[in-house]
Structure 1
Amino acid sequence: MIRQAINLTENDRQALAILMISAELEEISVYHLQDALFVSRGTILADIKKIQKYAQENDVVLKYSRQSGYRFYGDERLIRQLIQKSILALLYQPATKELMVNILNQFSDDFHLRVMTEIRQFFKNHRLTVVPSRTEETIYFLAFVIIRSSTHSIVLTDSEISILNHLIIKKKVVELVQHFPGVVNQEAETNYWAMVLMGMIQAKVREYGTEFLYDCSYEICRKVEHSTGIEFKAFNNVVDHIYAHLVPAYFRILGKFTIQNVLIEQIQKQYNHLFQITHYSLTPLEELLGERLPDSEIGYFTILFGGEIANMAERPEDKRYRALVVCPSGMSSSLIMRSELATLFPMLDFIEARSFFELEQMPLDDYDLIFSSVDLETQKPLYVMPPILSTTDKVELLRQVQRELLLPSVVVPSVTDILETILPYVTLKEGVTQDKIKKLVTKKMMKQLKKKGDESPMLSELLTPDKIRFNHETPTPNWQDAIHLAGAPLVQNDDVEPRYLDAMVQKVLDFGPFIHLGFGIALPHARPEDGVKDLAMSLLKFSEPVYLLDDEKNPIRIFICLAAVDNETHLRALSSLTKILTDKTAVQRLLEAETTEEIVTLIQEGEE
């Protein structure tokens, strides 16, 4: 029983109550909860009602009986999901973690320590690379699972068992499960634990049993290229990187395990265009799983692809410093920091985001400086920053790093320095404060550092009525001529050189029908250096299909030509196109449109 007076929030109390009830180590009553959580009977009854509602929303029932006290009833996997979510809610402060340890140690003396030791030794013995931010969570989770598995069995589907049977890790997990003889159904738990652990292990390239996920990663990366008009210079390396993260993501979603992405709202707001494109590109994974991906997982891959796109920027061949990004909040926060820093400091080479544990094991010669969200002891230059940088944060960080490390002779003056120089010689108008001026100057100074996605044109600004055309020829032209016709407005408007049209055709000849986005819609494009003068798009709709590469498997009714000037400026427009492609009704309206006005209206509706 918990016996420690601390200030618990309502969410803390309810999460702890769920863990106490699900562990079934004693007959839990209102009195037990009241005594354990140091609140009144009325507060506990209110908490119980909310837990019952929460459980019901997750297809689990919470009931009370005199014989057993409060118990959860329903699918064992769903009950374990409640446990996992409750653990996530309690992980971020030492006091609540200690209370979880107290619950676990009711099962046996030092039970939490024993489970932690066994799991860490298992990783070490089998040389498994784990996602550091999820290790602690998984140890707590498996400890509660071991307790429940002494009286409750888990049931997996035949398809899940078939996938898990091919994994090398399953054979290794047999040994781990055997260390806990109280587990009722060792075979079922071996499968389940393998799924849990696969959700936290970083995959090696084409690990045996997960080859189908490498193929999925390849398809996703191609889809990102096709939907953004970008070509990854080191495509195979990008696939390997995405695959390493896709494998644990697949098993997390398969097992219905939640990841804590506290920055998902900021990701969706600040990187909305890339979020939409990433979601569209992840459809191969959704098709494999047969369900929509959680926003937290989409946000995770948004940052991964954002980092890959940022790394493609041309960089000067000056002295290269290697920067390490460290954040205790988890991989998602580290990736966001890395993405923002890569844009702010293109002259730095950023190493894969690390945890504190990995930092301690890393040789000092492997990096030159550290960016961290918290202060830490290090012999290297350290720059402390929030995970999401404000405009003011960017100015101050840029100034500090340039002054101390990169460009000593070219220091960006701080806003404060500028104001201290100017204000003695000016008179402020009534109502104008130094703070207001500071904000204004900061905004002006950061104009060039502002996200291109915020300044880039919308789809409706590129696909203007003069760039939208229809072709009712019978028979339709061949696919090469169709691309030339679709791109003609770009040449006529002097957005591209005539050779750009040939380059779009050549890309299809070189790489196949990659421009086919599905639904009979194609996105012809080439590289900026192939003759692009200005960012532009054009659309040509045919009454009858044009067969790309003369293949009946690729009937195209709509060609949308893209002329991009870089890797980012056009993403805002393409995110709007992606929204249309993921809406079956919108796609049908586009295919049935007979006038320019109908298409313009459809595009504008998607931007609202």
Structure 2
Amino acid sequence: MDCLEMALIQDFFQKDNIVIDKIIASKLLSQVDLATHLKEINHTLNSKLAVEDEQIYLSEKDREKCYRYLKKKKVTIFTYYEGEYRRALLLLHLLLSKEDMNLAELTDQLLVSKNTALAEIKRLKQELEVKGIFLKYSRKTGYTLLGSEFVIRNELVNTLKNMLKQPSGRYFLLETGFVEEHELLLLKNRLTNLQKKAQLTFTEESLEELPIILAFLIQRSQHHRSAWHFKVEKYDIKNTKEFPMYAELFRHVTDLNENDLLYLVLQVLSATIVKTKLDLSDSEDIVKATDRFITFLEEECVMQFSNRESLKEKLILHLRPAIYRCLLCVNIKNPLTDVFIEEYRPLYEKIKVGVGIFEELIGRSFPKEEDVFIAMIVISSMIHTKKAAEEQVFKAMVLCRSGMSISKLLLENLRSMFPKIEFVGAYAIHEVSQTGFEPDFIFTTIPIHTDITTFLVPPVLDKEAREKIKNQVEVAINEDVTKKTKELFSYLSDLFPEFCKEDAFMRIESFYMKDEQPKVAVKEDHFLLTEDHLTVIQSADLDDALTQAFQPLIDRESITESYVEMCSLIFRQDYPYMMIAYECYLPHAKPEYGVLKPDYQILLIKDKVQLPNKDSMQLMVALAPSVENQHVEWLLKLNQILLETDLQRMLNTVESKKELFSLIEQELNELIG
């Protein structure tokens, strides 16, 4: 791959939608040259960078591939930081660096001149003073942030959330070096398991954001050892039934004081969820307020809802984390706020008046973003009262990374626009493979890879977006023989006797004289379980265990000797963080340290190994991770069967790798089934 293509990858990685004209002008390319380079990039990365409406779109998976490739080639990920990135980086270093920072150190970190660094420091100082945080300088200690620790941590959270909305924000935060990927994997695993214990489901966006936010807050708590306090009025969080479950997420962190832990738990409680089976703590007041709110909408605003109880459940589900966010003074980011208000202003203003019922309850005003989320829930419930009069010919699903409010509103808007299409629901990307459903169309808010006819749509559809998507759907039907046949056959179906309908359909299809392109469902890659991936030994010390776990990977030419050395070094330093279940540890390193191909080996040690901290280890999972993250879902499944089944108790009866294989295979099959 040449230097130009490497530069293009850097541009694609750092930006969201890349305008082709700007790329051509900045790189002095022709459209033909760009197409050639794009083809070579897709071939090298095994990616599918897509061109649509004169722009290049990256899926999250392709952005990850760009990042991993740049890391593998040891190319500088960020050669320059935009203003928003500089501000975030400056704040992170002031909050998390082990020592106070002087101007020279900050200049090096920001990749700018001293004058620019001074200007950034001055700008940040002014912004923070409005919030009660003060940036002080002394010749002896350099720059220091002073103020309420509660306000400082809120500023950290809001900064992180803002960065995670940026195209490459996640990777920017990883590149700061303040958190490691294995920490994020541990926290994500625990959050995934918490969902079942707490009987709730986080939005996909929350499940991606939370590990990063929690990891940075843990770093702040370890950096800031002084006592600090904050008060959560009315809600005694520590004495709720949820608190112990949520606190377990942080059992690997030492020296957390009471307020550190409470603040971390509140971050999880304030995350957006899509469903829950547990009652809200102090929920009676919330339930009564919700009833009053819906009555206000019905009587004062003359709104009608086909399913009042369903609306009530959705509102209560949103209000729980919304109340915690208000108590924390953490403002959820809703990039659609202004677009939504402009599109639905009269309804929004009415609903906003009713939201005062909830504000009176908690003694706090909801920010505009929360008002909009509540309005989205209400309006989507109103739209759903409209029934399609036409027969539904096609099936479709909506994919959206955002929370329930946005995805449901989009779903109901599309239902009203396309009465011939049966929309089966709104899903997160990771849920597609679990539905077992192959639709005719997918409407998605982020780029995905599939051969199913897909339409990229904005979360809120204005007049222009509606017209555009209507035209795209009409063209898609007319250019696809099977869809044209379905549409015509649906119109004529009642004219054919039942016994000849199948033949009639085939004749209509052949009439169009076109070949149908096969559909390929959205699929995920998984590691395969075989006996060769399992080892059973009677006893070993830590050195022997590491050797026997990684030797099969060397024999299969999946890793280099240097990778084993790096894994051993990291594991000896960080093994408490590599525990993925009771007495089960995951030694691993980054792929660039010597992974030739993704692989793994599970080592069962009958006589448990005692680790330096006196904990025991029975299972060691040696991992050669995939650059494309194929291992992540496999790890989650392994983690799930270790935590939620009797597998570990039964390991004591295992005598051979054949028995171990049968045991794990049985649990995996039951999990899938």
TM-score by length of 2: 0.55
Deviations 1:189-210 (A, max 9, x none): 3332332111124452561524
One of 216, 234, 237 as aligned partner of 1:144: 216
CA distance in 2, matches of 1:308, 1:191: 35
Paired residue for 1:344? 417
Find the counterpart in structure 2 of residue 370 from structure 1.
442
Q: What is the aligned counterpart of 2:261 among 190, 205, 211?
A: 190
Does the 8 Å CA contact 1:261/1:332 hold for their aligned counterparts?
no
SS at match of 1:383: strand
Q: Out of 106, 124, 135, which is 2:207 matched to?
A: 135
**Distance verdict in 2 for CA 1:256–1:392, change over 3 Å:** closer
Q: Matched residues in 2 for 1:252 and 1:147: separation?
A: 21
Q: What is the CA–CA distance in structure 2 between the aligned matches of 1:36 and 1:314, rounded to whole Å?
A: 58
Equivalent residue for 2:230, pick from 136, 156, 171: 156
Give the whole-Å Cα distance in 1 for the aligned partners of 2:186 and 2:277: 32
Please, which moves more after superposition, 308-317 or 382-391?
382-391
Q: Which amino acid aligns with 2:428?
A: S
Instruction: Mark the CA change 1:241 to 1:143 in structure 2 (over 3 Å): closer, same or farther.
Output: same
List per-residue Cα deviations over 1:135-179 (Å, max 9, x = no partner). 2222221112112222245523263552x1453220212322332
Q: Distance in 2 between matches of 1:167 and 1:344?
A: 44
The answer to which of 267-276 and 89-98 deviates more is: 89-98
Q: Which residue number in structure 2 is paired with residue 418 of structure 1?
A: none
- Which stretch shows the higher mean deviation, 228-237 or 330-339? 330-339
How far apart, CA to CA, are the structure 2 residues paired with 1:135 and 1:266? Answer: 26
TM-aligned CA deviation for residue 98 of structure 1: 2.5
Map of 2:88 onto structure 1: 15
Q: Please point out which of 356, 360, 378 is paired with 1:305.
A: 378
Q: 2:291 aligns with which of 212, 218, 229?
A: 218
**Residue 228 of structure 1 aligns to a residue in which SS?**
coil
Is 1:294 aligned to residue 404 of structure 2? no
Q: Which moved more, 1:72-81 or 1:153-162?
A: 153-162
Pair 1:178-2:251 in alignment: yes
Q: What is the alpha-carbon distance in structure 2 between the residues aligned to residue 345 and residue 327 of structure 1? A: 18
- Show the 5 A alignment for 1:542-553: none
Do structure 1's residue 282 and structure 2's residue 355 form an aligned pair?
A: yes
TM-fit CA distance, 1:321: 5.0
Which of 163, 170, 188 aligns to 1:97? It is 170
- Give CA deviations for 1:242-278 in whole Å, capped at 9, x if unaligned: 2122212121222122211111111111111111111
What does the per-residue CA deviation read over 1:5-38, in whole Å, with 9 as the maximum and x for residues that have no partner? 4332111100121112111423222212210121
- Kindly state the Cα deviation for residue 67 of structure 1 after the two structures are TM-superposed: 4.7
Please list the CA deviations of residues 352-374 of structure 1 after superposition, one character each: whole Å capped at 9, or x if unmatched: 53322233433216x65321133
Deviations 1:176-228 (A, max 9, x none): 23321132x1x323332332111124452561524232333222222222232
Give the partner amino acid of 1:138: L
Q: Residues 543-588 of structure 1, C-alpha deviation per residue, up to 9 Å, x if partnerless?
A: xxxxxxxxxxxxxxxxxxxxxxxxxxxxxxxxxxxxxxxxxxxxxx
CA distance in 2, matches of 1:351, 1:299: 25
C-alpha distance in 1, partners of 2:343/2:206?
Answer: 25
In the alignment, is the contact (CA less than 8 A) between 2:200 and 2:276 conserved in 1? Answer: no
Deviations 1:289-333, CA, capped at 9 Å, x for gaps: 212211111111121111111111132262375532223466565
1:395 is displaced (CA, Å) by 3.0
Checking the alignment, whether the CA contact within 8 Å between 1:27 and 1:70 is kept in structure 2 is yes
Cα distance in 1 for residues equivalent to 2:343 and 2:238: 41
- CA separation of 1:344 and 1:10: change in aligned 2, threshold 3 A: same
Q: Aligned in 2, Cα 1:121/1:65: closer, same or farther, shift over 3 Å?
A: farther
Query: Is the partner of 2:427 in helix, strand or coil?
Result: coil
Is the CA contact (8 Å cut-off) linking 1:18 and 1:82 kept in structure 2? no
2:392 aligned partner, one-letter code? K
Amino acid aligned to 1:155? H
Secondary structure of the corresponding residue to residue 353 of structure 1:
strand
Shift of 1:388: 4.0
Indicate the larger mover: 132-141 or 297-306: 132-141
Distance 1:305 1:16, change over 3 A: same
Partner residue in 2 for 1:34: 107
* Distance 1:336-1:154 versus aligned 2 partners, 3 A rule: farther
CA contact (8 A) 1:155 1:188 kept: yes
Flag the 1:115–1:232 CA change in 2: closer, same or farther, 3 A.
Answer: closer
Look up the SS of the partner of 2:253 in the other structure: coil
- 2:458 aligned with 1:386: yes
Q: 1:343 to 1:315 in 2, by over 3 A?
A: closer
Q: CA deviation at 1:402?
A: 4.8
Q: Does structure 2 conserve the Cα–Cα contact (< 8 Å) formed by 1:326 and 1:356?
A: yes
**1:92-491 counterparts in 2 under 5 A?**
92-93=165-166, 95-103=168-176, 105-106=177-178, 110-123=182-195, 126-150=198-222, 151-157=225-231, 159-162=233-236, 164-183=237-256, 185=257, 187-200=258-271, 201-204=273-276, 207-211=279-283, 212-316=285-389, 318-319=391-392, 322-328=395-401, 333-364=406-437, 369-378=441-450, 380-402=452-474, 404=477, 408=487
Contact preservation (8 Å) 1:303, 1:339: no
Query: 1:173·1:194 contact (CA, 8 Å) conserved in 2?
Result: yes
Aligned-residue Cα RMSD (Å) equals 3.1
Task: Return the alpha-carbon distance in structure 2 between the equivalents of residues 171 and 142 of structure 1.
Answer: 17
Tell me what 1:454 maps to.
Answer: none
Partner AA of 1:288 in structure 2: L
Q: Map Cα deviations across residues 517-543 of structure 1 (whole Å, 9 max, x no partner).
A: xxxxxxxxxxxxxxxxxxxxxxxxxxx
Contact 2:332 2:369 in 1 (8 A): yes
The one-letter amino acid of 1:395's match is E
CA deviation profile, 1:482-538 (whole Å, cap 9, x unmatched): xxxxxxxxxxxxxxxxxxxxxxxxxxxxxxxxxxxxxxxxxxxxxxxxxxxxxxxxx
In the alignment, the residues of structure 2 paired with residue 58 and residue 33 of structure 1 have an alpha-carbon distance, to the nearest angstrom, of 22
C-alpha distance in structure 1 between counterparts of 2:100 and 2:77, whole Å: 20
Higher deviation after alignment, 399-408 or 78-87: 399-408
CA distance in 1, matches of 2:415, 2:149: 44
For residues 181 and 410 of structure 2, the distance between their equivalents in structure 1, rounded to whole angstroms, comes to: 41
Give the % identical residues: 23
Query: Helix, strand or coil for the counterpart of 2:144?
Result: strand
How many pairs does the alignment contain? 405
After superposition, the Cα gap between the structure-2 partners of 1:119 and 1:319, relative to the gap in structure 1 and judged at 3 Å, is: closer
Q: Compared with structure 1, are the counterparts of its residues 180 and 328 closer, same or farther at alpha carbon in structure 2 (3 Å cutoff)? A: same
8 Å contact 2:383–2:412 — kept in the other structure?
yes
Query: What CA distance in whole angstroms lies between the structure 2 residues aligned with 1:319 and 1:339?
Result: 15
Instruction: Write the letter of the residue equivalent to 1:214.
Output: V
- Distance, in Å, in 2 between the alignment partners of 1:108 and 1:386 is 33
Post-superposition offset of 1:287: 0.9
Kept in 1, the 8 Å contact 2:400–2:428? The answer is: yes
SS of 1:82's partner is helix
Unmatched 5+ stretches in structure 2 = 1-75, 478-482, 491-673
377-386 or 223-232, larger mean C-alpha shift: 377-386
- Separation in structure 2 between the aligned mates of residue 278 and residue 360 of structure 1, nearest angstrom: 37
How many angstroms apart in 2 are the aligned matches of 1:208 and 1:399?
45
State the SS of the aligned residue for 1:364: coil
